[in-house]
Amino acid sequence: MAQKDLFGEIVPAASGPARHVIRVVFNQALMGTFDYGVPDELWPVSAGGRIRAPFGRGNKPTEGFCVEVLEDVQKPAERGYRLKFITDVIDDKSLFTKRMLELGIWISDYYFAPPGQTLAAMIPAAVKKGAGVAKIAVIYLLCLPNQVESILSEELKRAKKQQVVFRHLVDSGAFSADKGIEKSELKKATGCSDSVIKSLRTQGIIGMEAASVLKSLPVIPDNYALKTSKKIQLNRHQKSALEYLENELTEARFGVSLLHGVTDSGKTEVYIRAIDKAVQLGKQAIILLPEIALTSQTIQRFSERFEKIAVLHSGLTASQRNSEWQRIVNDEADVIIGARSAVFAPAQRLGLIVVDEEHEASYKQDMVPRYHGRDVAIKRCQLENAHCLLGSATPSLESIYNARYRKHYKLLELPERVMELPMPAMECVDMSSGEDAFSDEILSRRLRDAIRVALHNGEQVILLLNRRGYSAFVFCPDCKEAIRCKNCDVTLTYHKRGGERAGSGILSSYKAGGYAICHHCGSRTLVPVACPLCGKKLVLKGAGSQKLEEELKNKFSGAKVARIDSDSMESADYYQMLDAFSRGDIDILAGTQMLAKGLHFPNVTLVGVLNSDAALAIPDFRSGERTFQLLSQVAGRTGRGEKPGKVIIQTVKPKQTVIQLAMQGDYEGFVNREFEIRRQLALPPFTRMAIARLSDKSFQLLETEAERLFELLGDISFRLGLKITISKPVPSIIPRLHSVYRMDIRLVGGSGEDMRKLLRNAIYEKTYKQKVKIIYDIDPISML
């Protein structure tokens, strides 16, 4: 433990030459490592375990990770400096396997993220805090089995209550502390009092020890159970894909498969069969999902086929997260289901990682370390000689490119829906012409008529409007100005009072009809009736999901309507809403893009997409790809049962090429067209990209520092002969967020190693002193 002087200041726990030296990283924005001595009384230290050490000028006690135990220990004179000594060892055992520690270092190096922050992000906070751990008293027998009868006939001959307790312990086999029974459970089972237990302890018949146990509510409901129903018959394409996967798993070699299957082509069944093969081979499997809302359906389906399942996602309580993590550590799970961070699950027999809906942007983390869950899954499989299975109806252009041209990749195709179901009929409604162009209603006449028919037939409807709130912005037609956020360079979204979840922070103090909120920083304001500049009446522009819900309830008063978005519910509510829709308790489900992701509802026969071209207006080279994926994915939510499906897309740009290709379901045509555009513009996947984003509250300082960094990067690139194009600094697409100005420098070209070499040299350049915040986003998914 740490030693203190009379005034409570931490001092080194040892002095003189260090016999044991370790390399340490701290959970701070520091790229380097630090060598520390280890006092003999704290030795040994495990690589991957946490320690506490004096750090910085004030020698503040700081928690860090040991990343390496150094074998060649130099004397102080040979090093040229004296080492500080660690003061505490927090973990007796490593929190990481050797391969997981390697993965963490790779993430730090590849994504240019501080190693200490990277390792800290890989272990849930609930695990580090020991959430849900409780102290209990364990009762056990101090006798041998062959002594039972003599104790009953002699010591306990007349003590009937003590006999009951003793017999219960014997019947439970509690002949040692590790097989003992919790005191509270023993009292409940036998009805005994504390005095009975005390008497047995006094006689030396039973012992009692303190123990730590994890207590949490079950993650998987009791009604989710194994089913012995007949296996689903695979079609020829599924059989072919599964045959390849089973062979790869049997060979136990690294590889990546991209399972490209149209919506409802049976990708999940292929996942299940591949996982089943991995489990038969004594391996574990991780399945990653893009949204925690999808885990409920996935857990239910997988629970029918697998018994030992663990779940990891942010929707669990802290004690549940720790409990599930420890189950995996203790090798009590064969299948692990979770969102992005489940890629770090401590599985020690890993054979397979499945990345479902691999194209989803939610796999990219927007905080340090800015890793992509799909790419980290691939790297982990490479380190552990496992197979990585990517699945999507609309693969990202990076993945389809890799599957076509890179080693270790294999493209598997499922071109048909299961049971030979037809693809849904696609229909486009031009909202820029005809009566719909002059209507204030969100729903076109054609879509309203289609909804009535579906409801009349007892069918269900999904409507997608990828915009939260009631209206996109509040606008003065005379001043030509919208109400804007005081902290961010964005317009405020209008919310009508009512319909938001309790505790969301946007209900209180708004007694009027509505308010405007910034969905970036959370600031909000009451909306005046008239423009404060000219006094004219303000108008609402651009409908949101809240207004859609209101219109649906007015137009279809007999239908049960529900809205699903982050304003109206918390994570736990998603499961209840989707479960209610699955049971048929809801007729029309309206909401944002979450509805497009991997949900299976056989009674849905109509999908409507409103404002389908909105994403095309975003100045991001991936806007077309996202629009195509969103339209294709949401179209796949219909026609998944016995009845055929229909999709109605409302747009003001019906002739836009991306929308036309989505209407035709022509993924190949879209890929070929987009590949040609990106090849000509030297954009991913044909080149590497990184963004250096600078930010500061002073725009003048920001401009100066951005120009300095631009010149430094250019000088280093020229000096090292790197083939990287460095664009001049420009304001970010949203130039100001949270009262902080932002500028971007885009770096394109070269290899991944060239990019890291450039950035590494820039950060260690002694002549350059950083005066503003700089983050580096490697392989950025969004330009926002």
Q: What is the pLDDT of residue 217?
A: 66
What is the pLDDT averaged over residues 340-365? 96
The string of pLDDT tens digits covering residues 474-490 is: 888 888 888 899 999 99
- Predicted confidence (pLDDT) at residue 267 exceeds the cutoff of 60: yes
| Topology of the domain comprising 689-778 | Alpha-Beta Plaits (3.30.70)
Neighbour-count burial of 263, counting CB atoms closer than 10 A to its CB (0-12 exposed, 13-18 middle, 19+ buried):
buried
Q: What is the pLDDT of residue 470?
A: 87
Q: How far apart are CA 391 and CA 269, in angstroms?
A: 12
Q: How far apart are CA 261 and CA 269, in angstroms?
A: 12
Residue set of the binding site for Zn(2+): 476, 479, 485, 488, 518, 521, 531, 534
Q: What is the pLDDT of residue 769?
A: 79
pTM metric for this prediction: 0.88
Task: Report the candidate in 527, 524, 481 with the shortest Cα–Cα distance to residue 506.
Answer: 524
Q: What is the pLDDT of residue 223?
A: 58
- Predicted confidence (pLDDT) at residue 38 exceeds the cutoff of 90: yes
Q: What is the pLDDT of residue 74?
A: 60
Cβ-based neighbour number of residue 117 at 10 Å: 18
The string of pLDDT tens digits covering residues 124-149 is: 999 998 888 888 899 999 999 999 99
- Look up the CATH number of domain 133-214: 1.10.10
The string of pLDDT tens digits covering residues 39-75 is: 999 999 999 999 999 998 889 999 999 999 997 666 5
- In which element (H, E) is residue 286 found? strand 284-288
What is the pLDDT averaged over residues 316-343? 94
- Predicted confidence (pLDDT) at residue 499 exceeds the cutoff of 70: no
18 vs 241, residue with greater confidence: 241
Which residue shows structure tokens 């023993």?
186
The string of pLDDT tens digits covering residues 595-616 is: 777 677 889 999 999 988 888 8
Tokens of residue 221, six digits: 């409901």
DSSP state of 653: -
What is the pLDDT averaged over residues 509-520? 69
Cβ pair 670, 628 in contact under 8 A: yes
Neighbour-count burial of 516, counting CB atoms closer than 10 A to its CB (0-12 exposed, 13-18 middle, 19+ buried):
buried
Task: Report the candidate in 773, 752, 762, 672 with the shortest Cα–Cα distance to residue 715.
Answer: 762
The string of pLDDT tens digits covering residues 363-379 is: 999 999 999 999 999 99
Cβ-based neighbour number of residue 16 at 10 Å: 10
What is the pLDDT averaged over residues 545-564? 92
- What residues have CB less than 8 Å from 133, skipping those under 6 apart? 212, 213, 214, 215, 322
Q: Range(s) for CATH 1.10.10 in the chain?
A: 133-214
Share of the chain above pLDDT 70, in %: 91
Per-residue buried b or exposed e for 169-199, using 16+ beta carbons within 10 Å of the residue's own CB: bbebebbeeeebbeeeebbeebebeeebbeb
CATH 3.40.50.300 fits 425-468+544-678, yes or no: yes
Say if strands 471-476 and 481-482 run parallel, antiparallel, or are unpaired.
Answer: antiparallel
Q: How far apart are CA 307 and CA 351, in angstroms?
A: 17
Q: What is the pLDDT of residue 291?
A: 82
Q: Which CATH number fits domain 236-420: 2.60.40.1510, 3.40.50.300, 3.40.50.12780, 3.40.50.10420?
A: 3.40.50.300
- What residues have CB less than 8 Å from 89, skipping those under 6 apart? 42, 45, 49, 50, 51, 52
Average pLDDT score over the chain: 88
Q: What is the pLDDT of residue 768?
A: 74
CATH classification (class only), 3-94:
alpha beta
Cβ-based neighbour number of residue 222 at 10 Å: 6
Residue set of the binding site: 476, 479, 485, 488, 518, 521, 531, 534
Q: How far apart are CA 206 and CA 121, in angstroms?
A: 45
Residue 24, SS3? strand
Share of the chain above pLDDT 90, in %: 65
Q: Range(s) for CATH 3.40.50.300 in the chain?
A: 236-420, 425-468+544-678
What is the pLDDT averaged over residues 467-473? 85
Task: Report the candidate in 569, 636, 594, 633 with the shortest Cα–Cα distance to residue 292.
Answer: 594
The type of residue at 532 is P
Q: Range(s) for CATH 3.30.70 in the chain?
A: 689-778
Per-residue buried b or exposed e for 450-476, using 16+ beta carbons within 10 Å of the residue's own CB: bbeebbeeebbbbbbbbbbbbbbbbbb
Secondary structure string (H, E, C) spanning 487-550:
CCCCECEEEECCCCCCCCCCCCCCCCCEEEECCCCCCEEECCCECCCCCCECEEEEECHHHHHH
Task: Report the candidate in 22, 26, 62, 28 with the shortest Cα–Cα distance to residue 44.
Answer: 22
Instruction: Give the CA angle between residues 655, 661, 662 to the nearest 5°.
Output: 105
Q: Range(s) for CATH 3.40.1440 in the chain?
A: 3-94
